[in-house]
Each structure stands twice: as C-alpha cells, then as structure tokens.
Amino acid sequence: MQIKQKGKNDCPRVCVIGAGPSGLAAIKNLQEQGVTDITVFEKNNQIGGNWVYSEENNHASIYETTHIISSKRWSEFEDFPMPAHFPDYPSHALVLDYFRSYANHFDLTKYIRFNTNVSKVKHTDQGQWQVIFENDQGTHEEYFDYLLVANGHHWDPFMPEYPGQFSGQLLHSHQYKKASIFKDQRVLVVGGGNSACDIAVQLARISPKT
C-alpha cells in the first residue's frame, strides 16, 4: 500500500489492528517511510499475537510444545536475523523473544495501545475509517486515513456439525493448549493438517488410545 503524504505538518493518520508479527512488520515499514501518526490497537497486554502462550481461551495462542515448522532462516525478518544461537526450528518461547527484540530494536511499542479491542470499523463518506474500540475506560471512536488489518487468521475457530450424538468432551484445536490433561483418555483427532498432526503426536505420547 502506498501512503500519500499530506504535507510537512499534515501526516496521514494510520491505524493498524493487531501487534503480532504482521502488525509489527507493518509498523516498522510505515515508520521507515516517514509515517509517524500511527496508532496500533492490540487486545492483548503484550506484542506477539498468537505466539503469546496462554492456557486461557480468551485469545488465540499456540500450544505448549509448539515449534516453528519452517527453519529460522526462512522465518526471520530479512533485515533482522534470528540470533545465531537459536536452533534451526525454535520453540514458541524463542520466537516470541525474537519478536520482542524486533519491536525494541525498531522502537515500535510506542505506537501500540495494549488491552484495546476493536469492535467495529466503517469506511465513511469522507473517505476515512471510523474505528470503534473498547478499553478499560469504555467505548471510544477515532478516525483514520488508512487502515491496516493484521488481526491474524486463528482467532475465529470453525466447528463443523456432525450427525448423531457425542457424550464426551468436544474441543476445537483452537482450545487445545497442552497434552497432559488428556493422559490415559481415549481421544479422536479429526483432521490431517498441521495442527491435527502436531496434537496427535503429542497425545500419542501420553495416551495410547489416541
């Protein structure tokens, strides 16, 4: 996206939703282009997006044993390499530390409003973006010239419906955090994607009936 400068003292107002890796990269590149009126809304209390591990289900997060499945060489920012001492496939804790270092190095957190949830956006007749957001002071609205949405794609789980009845516990992989609570239980994993395969491997180590 090309940001049009409005003049020396009239910089465009830019809103970024989300302070995960995509949001951080957006802030950094905006800053490099001379855009200084940047506001980032992050509903969590820290940067990192779903790389912030939490056993609570109030935000999307990776699970306890997550490691990246692409090597650090192909996962790092081009202008900010991962540390040499990182293993080829770092754990989620190391990846989060890396994003924190990236934010600190480029001085990105000054733009971020944490614990702030965007509830609605609307494109106005004047060509601006109306952003309605909530924090501990209540509900507010602000207007911006540009809007970048970087809220991620793991936040809204899709649960398919199956015919018949099931009396056991039914979980989406979005809700899965660690394997230990499934010890010695009979578990069925539906799906064959990355999450399903990772979860099946972890559960098989503690539950022979997976």
Tell me the whole-structure pTM to 2 decimals.
0.85
Write b or e for each residue in 50-63: b if 16 or more Cβ atoms lie within 10 A of its Cβ, otherwise e.
bbbbeeeeeebbbb
Taking only the tens place, the pLDDT of each residue in 55-80 is 876 677 888 888 898 999 999 999 99
Closest CA to 110 of 33, 189, 27, 193: 27
**Higher pLDDT, residue 110 or 204:** 110
**φ and ψ at 110, to 5 degrees?**
-65, -20
The region of weakest confidence among 83-92, 129-138, 149-158 is 149-158
CATH architecture of 14-149: 3-Layer(bba) Sandwich (3.50)
Domain range list for the chain:
14-149, 173-204
